[in-house]
Amino acid sequence: MADKKQKEVVKQVLQKHQHDKALLVDVLQDIQAEIGYLPKEVLVETSKGLGVPVSRVYSVATFFKAFSLTPRGRNLINVCMGTACHVRGSVKVLEQIEKELKIKAGETTPDLKYTLETVNCVGSCALGPMVIVGEDYHGEMTPEKVVSVLANYK
């Protein structure tokens, strides 16, 4: 069962979108923004609230890269792997972060401090390689800068 807070979030988000089935992707985006990820119970709750099968909610939640079914860390790190960032060395930046945090892309540190993910272009290609932590954009990243940037996020 979804706990009270989760239920409330689902209820509010569904209300905001007027229980429009077509807005499933938007609904899940907003729920995830509140809860941080999409626990199973929340998917069930969403399915009930919208009147669409759980299977459909699940397939949408697993199809799109933006959704996570497991808890994520307090700080979400997105390393841009888009082409512009790639040719400017984003692979080396990602490798350095992986080494520093001892996790791979797609994983979360055991203390739930960081989740490391990759993204394909955030539209700031001029400043590549881009690393986005939470809502902060860090441009012109290098492996050397990784430690000092991460230190800002506790």
Partner 1 sequence: MAKLKSFGDLETLKKSITGKRDPKKSVIAICNGTGCQAYGCKSVTAAFQDEVKKQNLADKVDVMPIGCPGFCERGTLVMVRPQGIFYQRVRPKDVPEVVAAIGKNSVVDRLLFTDRQTGAKVTHESDVPFYKKQRRLIIGNNGLIDSTSIDDYLAIGGYNALAKALKMKPEQIIDEVKKSGLRGRGGAGFPTGSKWETTRNAHDEVKYIIANADEGDPGAFMDRALVEGNPHSVLEGMIIGAYAIGSHQGYMYIRNEYPLAVKNMRTAIQMAEEYGLLGKNILGTGFDFTLKIQRGGGAFICGESTALMASLEGKVGEPRAKYVHTSEQGLWGKPTNLNNVETWANVPIIINNGAAWYSQIGTKGSKGTKIFSLVGNITNTGLVEVPMGTTLKEIVFDIGGGIPKGRKFKAVQTGGPSGGVIPESMLDMPVDYDELTKAGSMMGSGGMIVMDDKTCMVDMARYYTEFLEGESCGKCLPCREGLRHMKAILTGITEGRGKKEDIALLEEICATIGDAALCQLGASAPNPVISTIRHFRAEYEAHINEHKCPAGVCKIGAAAVK
Q: How far is the CB of 139 from partner 1 (least distance, A)?
A: 4
Distance CA 70, CA 54 (A): 17
**149 contacts 133 by C-beta, under 8 angstroms:** yes
Residue closer to partner 1 (CB basis): 72 or 138: 138
Residue identified by tokens 């991460």 is: 150
Q: How far is the CB of 80 from partner 1 (least distance, A)?
A: 8
For residue 52, the Cα-to-chain-centroid distance in whole angstroms is: 24
Find, among 8, 65, 48, the residue nearest to 31 by Cα: 8
Number of residues that bind partner 1 (CB under 8 A): 40
Secondary structure percentages of the chain, helix, strand, coil, to 5: 50, 10, 40
Residue closer to partner 1 (CB basis): 73 or 129: 129
Binder of partner 1 out of 14, 24, 76, 77 (CB under 8 A):
24
Residue closer to ligand FES (CB basis): 103 or 130: 130
- Using the rule CB under 6 A, is 82 a contact of ligand FES? yes
Judged by the rule CB under 8 A, the positions of this chain that interact with partner 1 are 21-26, 28-29, 52, 56, 59-60, 63-67, 81-88, 119-128, 130, 135, 137-139
